[in-house]
Copies of this chain bind each other. A is one copy, B any other.
């Protein structure tokens, strides 16, 4: 099983992006993966904006990236791009922090007109961070998500689409583990 870091990057205290992240956390946990969840808005604002990686909470977040085999990155769309909040976190990571990792990008927005934000704005940043594999992402319309008691309920078509995106992600993780572990096994025998 893999270690997965799931990130939500909405500045809002009641956020559909965060709700979807929790939905995904449950799915991945149920599949036996080790899930660490990070809501960027819980990080200390001054340290985050100053890229102060000596601050314990920031250092802990950076370590979560290091330990993860895979990442789910969920951002709301603001001004036809990812949230500034998300980018402040990505900005303070080491240059090639995502090397060796599989990433699933997700975006939420109020209009389908912003669907290309994943491929034209978010993916170039993830690729620059050295991500070994960024699987095809998913753009989720706000209207398909309802929140009650802090839990997200997805409309059936949205649940199916998120499920498919998770399958792509866990499939890629399994692939990569499968190809690394025999090699590790061989290395140990030498």
A7 within 8 A of B: no
Q: List chain B residues, Cβ under 8 A from A51.
A: 11
- Which of B124, B134, B175 is close to A80, meaning CB atoms less than 8 Å apart? B124
Interface residues of A in 80-113 (CB under 8 A from B): 80-91, 93, 111-113
Counting chain A residues whose Cβ lies within 8 A of the other chain, the interface size class is: 35 or more
A27 within 8 A of B: no
Interface residues of A in 104-154 (CB under 8 A from B): 111-117, 119-121, 123-125, 127-130, 132-136, 139
Number of copies: 4
Q: List chain B residues, Cβ under 8 A from A139.
A: 113
Interface residues of A in 31-48 (CB under 8 A from B): 41, 45-46, 48
A115 CB to closest chain B CB (Å) equals 4
Contact indicator B91/A79 (Cβ below 8 Å): yes
Contacts A80-B119, A81-B124 aside, 5 further interface pairs with beta carbons under 8 A come to: A11-B51, A78-B87, A111-B112, A114-B116, A175-B176
Chain A residues in contact with chain B, CB under 8 A? 11, 41, 45-46, 48-51, 78-91, 93, 111-117, 119-121, 123-125, 127-130, 132-136, 139, 172, 174-176, 178-179
